[in-house]
A = this chain, B = another copy of it.
C-alpha cells in the first residue's frame, strides 16, 4: 500500500504538505503543489479512508437498512439513495443491510454502522420508535415510513388508499375486497384506512383479507383465500403489486376475467407492473424519487444545513392500465 509518506518522500516534502495538497486546504506554493501532484500520480496514490475516518471521527459511508431487497419495491429506493449520494461533491458510499423486519437484525446493523463511523443512516424500519434510533447520535432518515418527530420521507399512503377506492368505485366495483397489509407497517395501514374511508363514504360494503407479510411466496396464499372467502367480489384493492400479481394469477386460474368480472388495483408500481397481461393498474409510489429525497435530506442533516422541512411527503398517483375498466366518459 502506498501512503502519504511515500508521496512525501518522492516529492521531497513533508506529509503535512502532501495532506494540504490532496485536501486543497491551506497555503502551498504552486511549484510544491506541482511536485506533490506529480508524485501522487506517479505512485497512483489514493488516501486511506480508514485513517481519515479515524482521525475525523466520520467516514464517507452512510448506512442503508431495508427490509428485503428481494421485494422489487425496495431496490428502487436503494438506487435512488445511491444515485443521489453519488452526485455529492464528495460522494458517499453505502453500507447496506436487509433487516427482514427483524428488530434484532436491525440493531446489529445499526451497531456496525456506528462502529464504522457512518455519518448517517437511512432506514425503512418497522420500529421507528425503538430505542435503537432514540439513542443514535448521528442523523437518521426514515424512508417509506412516517414519523412526525423524526426526519422522514414517505408517500401519502392514506391518499393512495382513497385514490384506489375512488377509482375502483368509479369504474363500477361494488363488492370490494381490500387486502390489509401487515399491521406493523404503517404505510400499509394508511392505505387500508384510506380505502375503507372512501368505500364507507360511498355507502358500500367491503371485505378484508388480512395479510401478515409482503412475501412473494405467501402472496399466493392470500390470493387463494381471497377468492375462496369472497367468491363474489368484483374489485380488489391489493396491498401491493406483488399481492396484486398473485390475485391476477389466481383469478386467471379460476377463470375469473380481469377486469370484466373483477377489477384489480395494486400499490407501488414496481417496474414489472406494466409487463403483466393485462398490465396492472396501480397506485404509484415514486420509489426512486423517495430514495433520492431521503438521501438529499440526510446530506442536509449531516452537513447541518438549516432544514426547512424534515418530513417530506411525496404524492401518489393512479396509473391506469389494464386491470381496471375504462371509465365511461360523462354525459
Residues of A within 8 A of B (CB): 1, 46-51, 53-54, 57, 59-61, 68-70, 72, 74-76, 78-79, 82, 93-98, 109, 111-112, 114-117, 216, 219-220, 242, 245-246, 248-249, 252-253, 271-272, 274-279
- Please indicate which of the listed interface residues A94, A114, A116, A278 has the most CB atoms of chain B within 10 Å of its own CB: A116
| A–B Cβ pairs within 8 angstroms, 9 of them | A50-B54, A69-B69, A69-B78, A70-B271, A93-B109, A94-B96, A94-B97, A216-B275, A249-B277
Q: Cβ of A72 and Cβ of B272 under 8 Å apart?
A: yes
Q: Cβ of A61 and Cβ of B95 under 8 Å apart?
A: yes
A307 to nearest B CB, angstroms? Answer: 25
Complex alpha-carbon distance, A54 and B59, angstroms = 13
Q: Cβ of A252 and Cβ of B277 under 8 Å apart?
A: yes
Q: Cβ of B69 and Cβ of A59 under 8 Å apart?
A: no
Q: Cβ of A245 and Cβ of B216 under 8 Å apart?
A: no
Q: Please name all residues of chain B whose beta carbon is closer than 8 Å to the beta carbon of A54 when the two chains form the complex.
A: 48, 50-51, 54
Q: Cβ of A46 and Cβ of B271 under 8 Å apart?
A: no
Q: Cβ of A116 and Cβ of B70 under 8 Å apart?
A: no
Complex alpha-carbon distance, A95 and B242, angstroms = 28
A33 to nearest B CB, angstroms? Answer: 22
Complex alpha-carbon distance, A277 and B117, angstroms = 48
CB-based nearest B residue for A219: B275
Which of B49, B79, B96, B246 sits near A115, CB closer than 8 Å? Answer: B49
A86 to nearest B CB, angstroms? Answer: 9
CB-based nearest B residue for A60: B112
Complex alpha-carbon distance, A51 and B52, angstroms = 10
Q: Cβ of A49 and Cβ of B277 under 8 Å apart?
A: no
Q: Cβ of B59 and Cβ of A50 under 8 Å apart?
A: yes
Q: Cβ of B69 and Cβ of A75 under 8 Å apart?
A: yes
CB-based nearest B residue for A217: B271
Q: Cβ of B272 and Cβ of A216 under 8 Å apart?
A: yes
Q: Please name all residues of chain B whose beta carbon is closer than 8 Å to the beta carbon of A78 when the two chains form the complex.
A: 69
Q: Please name all residues of chain B whose beta carbon is closer than 8 Å to the beta carbon of A96 when the two chains form the complex.
A: 94-96
Which of B57, B115, B245 sits near A275, CB closer than 8 Å? Answer: B245
Q: Please name all residues of chain B whose beta carbon is closer than 8 Å to the beta carbon of A1 when the two chains form the complex.
A: 57
Complex alpha-carbon distance, A47 and B275, angstroms = 49
Q: Please name all residues of chain B whose beta carbon is closer than 8 Å to the beta carbon of A115 when the two chains form the complex.
A: 46-50
Q: A50-B59, A57-B1 are in contact. Are A249 and B116 (CB under 8 A)?
A: no
